[in-house]
């Protein structure tokens, strides 16, 4: 069997609070070029890297003006790099799909410099951040394939990783590597970071790659912590709080097969059973119904 190995990179950008979108793109471009020079076939930028993520903690109608459509200036700039090096760059951006319709998206530009996939965040965050004031929920999961070697990749975004269904769905669609750009400040650290990230690999037997920003942005401190996890849940590369840093690892894709043989969780999924529960009423009604049933039994 021919070895299938592929080098990937996660870019950990510094916060640039108050700087224009163009400055954030200019900061990221040399990092993407450096990772490309170093032989990275797939490069991941952080979530909404060309924005002040702090803006999404309250609604600023004027901030919608920085959104762009597929093929806008952010993707064009990164597409020029991917075309020059013949690689793939995953570019998170504030997407304007049409008038009044916006998404938190991550597009993949391929070796010809064009967009080959565009994922829209399916779980728009409302934990402390108020993304729901800006973005609609995406409705599809995407898988795309690299050339030489052929490898199956997929993307989710930040808050999506808290839902194991997301990583399992992309694994069932054939993903061997899941990429997850994030904008994670202090409250998302600790077990909310490393444990969740590692479990998404354990759940699925695939590589997972996470990128984050680092530094202080207005009232929030972003801890960095970008990491790459193998299919057995081991962290094989990580950063701390370094700013404008590049994290790389060579992924041995044969490990995906070995992990899925050793712990065949995907084989044993009971989607036929789960769907019966997922189709029940919303969470609040389900809980109320369970409580009423217990009260009835008690009497």
- Collapsing DSSP states into helix, strand and coil, what is residue 238? strand
Asked whether the beta carbons of 26 and 19 are under 8 A apart, the reply is: no
Give the CA distances from residue 22 to residues 4, 28, 29, in Å, rounded to whole numbers and listed in that order.
37, 10, 11
CA atoms of 249 and 228, how far apart (whole Å)? 7
Q: Is 96 found in the same domain as 217?
A: yes
Cα–Cα dist 136/52, whole Å: 19
Predicted pLDDT at 56: 97
Same domain? 139 vs 209: yes
What three-state secondary structure class fits 197?
helix
Query: 131-135: which pairs have CB atoms within 8 A and are 24 or more residues apart?
Result: 131/56, 131/104, 131/159, 133/56, 133/58, 133/59, 134/56, 134/59, 134/63, 134/64, 134/94, 134/102, 134/104, 135/102, 135/103, 135/104
Positions of the chain with pLDDT under 70 = 1, 287-299
Q: What is the pLDDT of residue 284?
A: 72
pLDDT, residue 298, reads 56
DSSP state string for 203-216: HHTSEEEEE--EEE
What sign results for the dihedral spanned by CA atoms 288, 292, 293, 294?
Answer: positive
Cis before 117 (ω within 30):
no
Residues 241 and 275 in one domain: no
Q: What are phi and psi of 192, to 5 degrees?
A: -70, -10
Q: Find the largest Cα–Cα distance for the chain.
A: 73
**185 shares a domain with 148:** yes
CB environment 154-163: b (16+ within 10 A), e (fewer): bbbbbbbbee
- The verdict on 211 and 295 lying in the same domain is no
Based on the domain organization, do 224 and 142 belong to the same domain? yes
**3-class DSSP assignment, residue 73:** helix
CB-facing half-sphere around the CA of 27: CA atoms within 13 A: 22
Question: Is residue 50 domain-shared with residue 180, that is, in the same domain?
Answer: yes
CATH number of the structural domain spanning residue 80: 3.60.110.10
The pLDDT of residue 279 is 86
Do 293 and 161 fall within a single domain?
no
Do 196 and 219 contact (CB within 8 A), yes or no?
no
E strands, 35-163, where? 42-44, 88-98, 101-109, 115-120, 143-145, 152-155
181 and 298 both lie in a single domain: no
Tell me the residue range of the domain where 94 lies: 5-263
Please check whether residues 128 and 38 belong to one and the same domain. Answer: yes
d(CA 78, CA 88): 9
What phi-psi label fits residue 165: left (phi over 0), alpha (psi between -120 and 50 degrees) or beta? alpha
What is the rounded CA–CA span in Å between residue 279 and residue 285?
12
- 48 and 101 housed in the same domain: yes
- Render pLDDT for 146-196 as a digit per residue (tens, 0 to 9): 999 999 999 999 999 999 999 999 999 999 999 999 999 999 999 999 999
- Together in a domain, 171 and 80: yes
Q: Where are the alpha helices (DSSP H) in the chain?
A: 21-37, 73-85, 164-172, 194-204, 254-262, 271-278, 283-298
Number of independent structural domains in the chain: 2
């Amino acid at each position: 069997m021919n070895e299938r190995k592929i080098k990937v990179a996660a870019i950990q950008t510094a916060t640039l609070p108050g700087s224009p979108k163009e400055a954030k793109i200019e900061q990221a471009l040399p990092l993407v070029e450096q990772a490309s020079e170093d032989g990275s076939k797939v490069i991941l930028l952080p979530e909404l890297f060309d924005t002040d993520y702090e803006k999404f903690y309250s609604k600023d109608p004027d901030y919608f003006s920085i959104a762009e459509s597929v093929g806008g200036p952010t993707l064009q700039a990164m597409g020029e790099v991917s075309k020059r090096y013949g690689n793939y760059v995953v570019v998170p951006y504030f997407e304007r799909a049409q008038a009044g319709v916006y998404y938190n998206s991550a597009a993949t530009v391929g070796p010809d410099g064009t967009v080959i996939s565009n994922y829209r965040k399916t779980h728009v965050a409302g934990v402390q951040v108020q993304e729901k004031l800006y973005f609609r929920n995406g409705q599809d999961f995407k898988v795309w394939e690299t050339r030489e070697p052929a490898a199956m990749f997929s993307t989710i975004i930040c808050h999506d990783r808290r839902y194991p269904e997301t990583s399992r769905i992309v694994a069932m669609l054939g993903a061997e590597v899941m990429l997850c750009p994030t904008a994670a400040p202090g409250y998302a650290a600790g077990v909310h970071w490393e444990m969740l990230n590692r479990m998404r690999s354990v759940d699925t037997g695939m590589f997972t790659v996470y990128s984050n920003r680092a530094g202080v942005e207005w009232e929030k401190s972003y801890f960095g912590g970008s990491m790459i996890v193998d299919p057995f849940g081991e962290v094989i590369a990580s950063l701390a709080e370094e700013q404008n840093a590049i994290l790389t690892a060579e992924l041995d894709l044969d490990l995906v097969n070995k992990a899925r043989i050793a712990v065949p969780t995907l084989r044993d999924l009971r989607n036929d059973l789960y769907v019966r529960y997922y189709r029940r009423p919303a969470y609040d009604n389900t809980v109320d119904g369970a409580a009423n049933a217990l009260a009835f039994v008690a009497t």
